[in-house]
Structure 1
Amino acid sequence: MKRLLIAAGGGGDAIATAMVHAALHGPDEPALVLTYAWERLVVDPVPGPRRPSDFTGTVTAGPTLRLVTPRSAPRPPAGSLLPRLSAGLRPALGLLDPYAGASGLARQIEEAAAYCEAGHVDVVDVGGDILADGTEPTLRSPLGDALVLAACARTGIPTSVHVAGPGLDSEVPEAALLPLLGDPLHTLTHADTLSVQAVFDWHPSEAGALLVAAARGIRGVCGTRDAPHPVTLGDASPHVYRLTLARALEINPLARALAESASLADAERASERVCGFSEIARERARAAQLAQEAGESPGGGTAPSEPRPLPRPLPRPLPERFAEWERRTADSGIAYVTTRRIAEELALSPAQLTALRRHLSTATPARHTPPLWRLAAVEA
């Protein structure tokens, strides 16, 4: 027998789900975590979520359910960190395929419950966009969470919904969430992070990193990439809250609208009606923009040759570039940053990021407060 959990948002939520499971039930309790392979363009250049046919080496656990293992691999051009993540987490990972809408997800959850011999489902979301009402101006990715709620309701299996780190995903503000959550079920501690700490050496999840940092006692203003406002780690940040499925459905109108969805296209249309946008359409537009910037033509070839650019000055040493960026970022009131923000804002290659991490880890004072980086105080 295994406990059955669902990482509602995919991507880094699987890490947080493993951590919450270890905190509530012990790290050695057997478990299966169902998660989307929907890891956004920073990992996967193909817009939208991946399905089982996008992987090799998965393990069949039911007619429509597949497990991702360290021997699995995404089929190019798709990308995914789930195979590597399956090697770094203790729970097994199962793949959620949303292409048949809530009805298809419900079948997969039922198959997973039979595989685990589980009579209960624990849904885990970092940040709290699983409780979005669709009107939040900062809402970016509500669809996966809402589909999970709708699918769990279709199964009829008793389900609990857990929100960890309210507001840490920069989608629904903490102040809007706390009145909905009641008293915390658990407060994560440093000990609760030990089972997942190593994955943040390479995984780009920011909400998960902030949750781990909060559990380790870090407090202050944290800068993430591509978020409208910094996140402040405070007293509520390491808390885990539990709601009933009925209460989550009451709060989330998109989940209710997805109840009868039978395809991902159905789900997109529901999101457009309720929230005013489709995050998959946004990903398609962004992927097309990135392809254009890379010089690819719409047909997949390269764009016509451009005039030869003028020679550029030699790049400055990386520590010097970081010091200037650090000063500018700290002046905006930010005390901590994620690895992903550093890498993206400085446009670092993997090798450059490794070199910078080594430099910052040995600097005086050392900047690394795993899994975040502390900015040095800037003198007036």
Structure 2
Amino acid sequence: MKRLIVAAGGGGDAVAAAMLNTALYGDEDQAVILTYAWDRLLIDPVPGPRCAHDFAGLETVTRSVRSVPATARPIAPAGSTLPRLAAELPQTFALLEPQHGVEGVTNQLEELIAHLKPESIDLLDVGGDILARGDEPTLKSPLADALTLAACCRVDALVRLLVAGPGLDGELSADDLRPLLGPVVHTFTAEDAATIGSVLEWHPSEATGMLAATARGVRGTCEVRDAGLLVPLTEASPQLCEVDLDEALSHNTLARSIMTTTTLDEAEAHSHEICGFSEIDYERNKATWLKDQPPAALDTEVVLRQLDQFESEAHARGVTHTTFRHLTEVLNLNDSQRGDLRQLLLFRRPEQHAAPLWRIPDAT
């Protein structure tokens, strides 16, 4: 039996898709996760999503779909988490390529559905920004989700839209999303989170990390991203909700506008018109900025002193938790140092680890 899960935004959505597969369908079902190779600048220094020619060692699934085995490698300077995910998780990861716009993504979906004849097709978004209109001031990454939503609405197959962890991506609040959400399909548990626990020790996704933490019972307020967004961790955070696909499309102005696009540039132009930006703009600008920002050395005593100051200020802001990704940025380290930082902090202050988050201690 085959299941097809489309990770709406790539990255952390692909990891959450693996957790969803086991939670809803069990280990006996073989799932194919169709996902972007779009790891932003944390892993991939090149702005925008990668396509097949950015990899060596992909395997052919259909005429336009390639899978990413554990032995595949991104071709420098590109980077990708997908080969490592393929090595550590039992699902098959297939590469979603948006370079030919919604037309191309639709074609990939149609070919894959015809090839797999899947028992079910789920479109999964962690956080819920797939339900954005496009003009929300907190919106950061509308384009990837709009592309997958538009394509899933075009295929002649039953696709179920699922939103996990409403509000956890810090783009739309849980309160804003609540009227748009349908029934709760599942509430993730600590047992579910354990299936991706080892991946979240190194994967940079903050939203999926918070989803797993709340499934383990963590509650409070988590500070994330370089902008220091505050995300509530509540009883609703580990929920998985179904959303009517057509209603989602009617709400998402960007998705409707790009239905017939044939290039990524064309889709990005619509994002500029409707949202005023595209996430690739942000990546281009940040990539330029990072070139002129040499990382600090990971000096233990300096790091701990800076950490104490950050934690004191964060506690005053009402923050109870943060991510290792955010800590890495706060301490002016680069992503290649995130693993070393994590090991240092787990060794020196293990009591503050609320896997996979970092707990901010009460003021002393």
Indicate the TM-score class for this superposition, using the shorter chain for normalisation. over 0.9
For 2:192, the equivalent position in structure 1 comes to 192
CA distance in 1, matches of 2:321, 2:139: 23
2:345 to 360, 363, 367: 360
For 2:310, the equivalent position in structure 1 comes to 325
CA shift, 1:94, in A, is: 0.4
Partner of 1:163, secondary structure, is strand
The reply on whether 1:337 has 2:322 as its aligned counterpart is yes
For 2:76, the equivalent position in structure 1 comes to 76
CA shift, 1:27, in A, is: 3.2
**Residue identity opposite 1:255 in structure 2:** A
**Residue identity opposite 1:160 in structure 2:** R
CA distance in 1, matches of 2:3, 2:140: 30
- Consecutive unaligned residues of structure 2, counting only runs of 5 or more, are none
**Residue identity opposite 1:211 in structure 2:** L
For 1:258, the equivalent position in structure 2 comes to 258
Q: How does 1:204-283 map to 2 (within 5 A)?
A: 204-227=204-227, 229-283=229-283
For 1:63, the equivalent position in structure 2 comes to 63
CA distance in 2, matches of 1:286, 1:352: 18
1:233-253 superposed Cα distances (whole Å, 9 cap, x missing partner): 011101101123212111111
CA contact (8 A) 1:360 1:366 kept: no
The reply on whether 1:157 has 2:142 as its aligned counterpart is no
CA distance in 2, matches of 1:138, 1:372: 23
Partner of 1:172, secondary structure, is coil
Q: How does 1:87-98 map to 2 (within 5 A)?
A: 87-98=87-98
CA distance in 2, matches of 1:99, 1:350: 27
CA distance in 1, matches of 2:3, 2:349: 45
CA contact (8 A) 2:202 2:339 kept: no
The reply on whether 1:166 has 2:166 as its aligned counterpart is yes
CA shift, 1:291, in A, is: 2.9
Distance 1:349-1:260 versus aligned 2 partners, 3 A rule: closer
CA distance in 2, matches of 1:72, 1:199: 18
Partner of 1:99, secondary structure, is coil
Of residues 24-33 and 75-84 in structure 1, the stretch that sits farther from structure 2 once superposed is 24-33
1:247-274 superposed Cα distances (whole Å, 9 cap, x missing partner): 2111111111111111101101111122
CA contact (8 A) 1:149 1:249 kept: yes
CA shift, 1:356, in A, is: 4.2
1:177-199 superposed Cα distances (whole Å, 9 cap, x missing partner): 01110331111111111211100
CA contact (8 A) 1:319 1:356 kept: no
CA distance in 2, matches of 1:358, 1:66: 35
CA distance in 1, matches of 2:336, 2:281: 32
CA distance in 2, matches of 1:113, 1:317: 53
Partner of 1:236, secondary structure, is coil
CA shift, 1:357, in A, is: 3.1
Partner of 2:67, secondary structure, is strand
Distance 1:359-1:56 versus aligned 2 partners, 3 A rule: closer
For 1:308, the equivalent position in structure 2 comes to none
1:1-41 superposed Cα distances (whole Å, 9 cap, x missing partner): 41011000011110111111211111332100000011111
**Residue identity opposite 1:13 in structure 2:** D
For 1:307, the equivalent position in structure 2 comes to none
For 1:12, the equivalent position in structure 2 comes to 12
Computed over aligned residues only, the root mean square deviation of the Cα atoms, in angstroms, reads: 2.1
CA distance in 1, matches of 2:303, 2:290: 25
**Residue identity opposite 2:358 in structure 1:** W
Q: How does 1:283-298 map to 2 (within 5 A)?
A: 283-293=283-293
**Residue identity opposite 1:370 in structure 2:** A
For 1:43, the equivalent position in structure 2 comes to 43
CA shift, 1:345, in A, is: 0.9
Distance 1:293-1:359 versus aligned 2 partners, 3 A rule: closer
**Residue identity opposite 1:33 in structure 2:** I
Q: Give the TM-score normalised by the residue count of structure 1.
A: 0.90
For 1:298, the equivalent position in structure 2 comes to none
CA shift, 1:338, in A, is: 0.5
CA distance in 2, matches of 1:104, 1:351: 34
Of residues 211-220 and 355-364 in structure 1, the stretch that sits farther from structure 2 once superposed is 355-364
Partner of 1:49, secondary structure, is coil
Distance 1:136-1:2 versus aligned 2 partners, 3 A rule: same
CA contact (8 A) 2:6 2:33 kept: yes
CA shift, 1:350, in A, is: 6.6
Q: Percent identity?
A: 45
Distance 1:168-1:247 versus aligned 2 partners, 3 A rule: same
CA contact (8 A) 2:325 2:338 kept: no
CA shift, 1:315, in A, is: 8.4
**Residue identity opposite 2:41 in structure 1:** L
For 1:25, the equivalent position in structure 2 comes to 25
CA distance in 1, matches of 2:142, 2:38: 13
CA contact (8 A) 2:200 2:356 kept: yes
Partner of 2:235, secondary structure, is coil
**Greater C-alpha Rg:** 1
CA distance in 2, matches of 1:124, 1:353: 27
CA contact (8 A) 1:110 1:155 kept: yes
The reply on whether 1:183 has 2:168 as its aligned counterpart is no
CA shift, 1:286, in A, is: 2.2
